[in-house]
Amino acid sequence: MKRLNIIVIGAGMGGLSAATALRQAGHHVEVYDRVSELRPAGAAISVWSNGIKVLNQLGLGDAIAAAGGQMDRMAYYHKAGNLLTDFSLEPLYTQVEQRAYPIARTELQRILLNAVGEEHVHLGMSCVDFNQTPEGVMATFEDGSQTTGDLLVIADGTHSRLRDKVVGFHVERRYAGYVNWNGSVPATKDLAPATSWVQYVGDHQRVSMMPMGGAAGEERFYFFFDVPQPTGSDNNPSRYRDELSHHFSDWAAPVQRLIERLDPATMARVEIHDIAPLPTLVSDRVALLGDAGHGMAPDLGQGGCQAMEDAWVLARCLDNAEGSSATDTINQALAAYDAARCERVADIITRARKRAETTHGKNPQQTQQWYEELAVEDGHHIIDGMCKTILSGPLE
Ligand SMILES: Cc1cc2nc3c(=O)[nH]c(=O)nc-3n(C[C@H](O)[C@H](O)[C@H](O)COP(=O)(O)OP(=O)(O)OC[C@H]3O[C@@H](n4cnc5c(N)ncnc54)[C@H](O)[C@@H]3O)c2cc1C
């Protein structure tokens, strides 16, 4: 097909994955981000096997495997420290034919930026509007400048200011009912085993530690704490340690050590939101991608993975479209993208929301039942659920 000029708004993991996939498909792509320096919010991310499969296809698999953490097992403990379940993730990796890699967000960004080429990423460019014409699409930036292209990919994240114009109505973010504090600490045996994803649960709260890689001898754990709270609570790093000490005062010794060792200055605190599934992700020459199109609760660890899937699918839809003109080709490709992605991401938004509610006590009886199920879990149910999510992706 014809080489298209593609504008991507947002240089998060969605925009950069899209730019990589589209450039590799032969298109001319320029990425614009409003920040003057790219600094991902949050310490790390777990890229599950479906996301890794996309990154492999983009030729980034070796770099990700080298930078990512070695996550071989998964364990749940009750808040008091008694083990509920501990199982190998090997059966998961065998069934889906790919390991998962938790990875520092800065490392993932570095790998994606290298793949795109920094000269194609324009910073300090806040997109405020776009307009479509029969011949193309024009993006307008806060400084008054404009750029034109054949196709506009909007990957400006969960707070997207451009999404409403694509779907034709105002999209409200929905509070998921809990606050998440996250960061990283040196990986030591007195916190958790080096290659296990360990979670403590109780009181509708959760603490997680996950191996996120790092130079030899300097490996780190990505940690997070979840606490159900009303929205609008104070966000003050100088109070993080006290808040966590208060919420987790009677939790097991590794949780107390984690609270002692964390560095509030390098942490993030997020009120978790999602958006209801959208009826469409496209409008003429414009496609929503990543959180802009499907912000979801992080409880399945799928937001970033879905952005990567979007990127791969969009590039393939453009490859496969055979219109009689560029406009025709783009229309066909975006219709195919919409058909391939809308239902997939709607299902994951819904399941992530349910998972968030169960973990965080929306219905306390249901949460209690989950704790009881964990105590008799041998890994099968959890792995089956993960397989379902991973294997229904575009790269199976
Ligand atoms: C606590 C937490 C844990 C998570 N854990 C996981 C996990 O383990 N696994 C997983 O797959 N996902 C996880 N996620 C989800 C994941 O972080 C997101 O899905 C992912 O970051 C979305 O990427 P994105 O590129 O769509 O958006 P973003 O990363 O938000 O990037 C959007 C970019 O757009 C830019 N931008 C915004 N507005 C404009 C504008 N007007 N003009 C120009 N640029 C603009 C921003 O500066 C930003 O760089 C988690 C999320 C949270 C909150």
Assigned fold of 5-173+274-391: FAD/NAD(P)-binding domain (3.50.50)
Q: Residues of the chain whose pLDDT is less than 50?
A: none
Nearest CA to ligand 1 atom 52: 298
pLDDT in tens, 222-260: 999 999 999 998 899 999 999 999 999 999 999 999 999
Q: What are the boundaries of each domain within the chain?
A: 5-173+274-391
69 Cβ closer than 6 Å to some ligand 1 atom: no
70 Cβ closer than 6 Å to some ligand 1 atom: no
11 Cβ closer than 6 Å to some ligand 1 atom: yes
Contact (Cβ atoms closer than 8 angstroms) between residue 30 and residue 171 = no
Residue 45, pLDDT score: 97
303 Cβ closer than 6 Å to some ligand 1 atom: yes
Instruction: Return d(Cα 224, Cα 204) in angstroms, integer.
Output: 14
Using left for φ > 0, alpha for ψ between -120 and 50, and beta otherwise, residue 67 falls in: alpha
68 Cβ closer than 6 Å to some ligand 1 atom: no
Please report the beta strands in 187-323, taking only residues with DSSP state E, as ranges in sequence order: 196-202, 205-211, 220-228, 268-274, 282-283, 286-288
Nearest CA to ligand 1 atom 30: 157
Residue 356, pLDDT score: 98
Q: Which ranges constitute the DSSP H helices of 248-392?
A: 253-261, 291-294, 303-320, 326-359, 364-375, 380-391
Residue 28, pLDDT score: 97
Residue 50, pLDDT score: 98
- Which ligand 1 atom is nearest residue 304's CA? 11
Instruction: Record the pTM.
Output: 0.98
pLDDT in tens, 46-98: 999 999 999 999 999 999 999 999 999 999 999 999 999 999 999 999 999 99
9 Cβ closer than 6 Å to some ligand 1 atom: yes
Residue 39, pLDDT score: 86
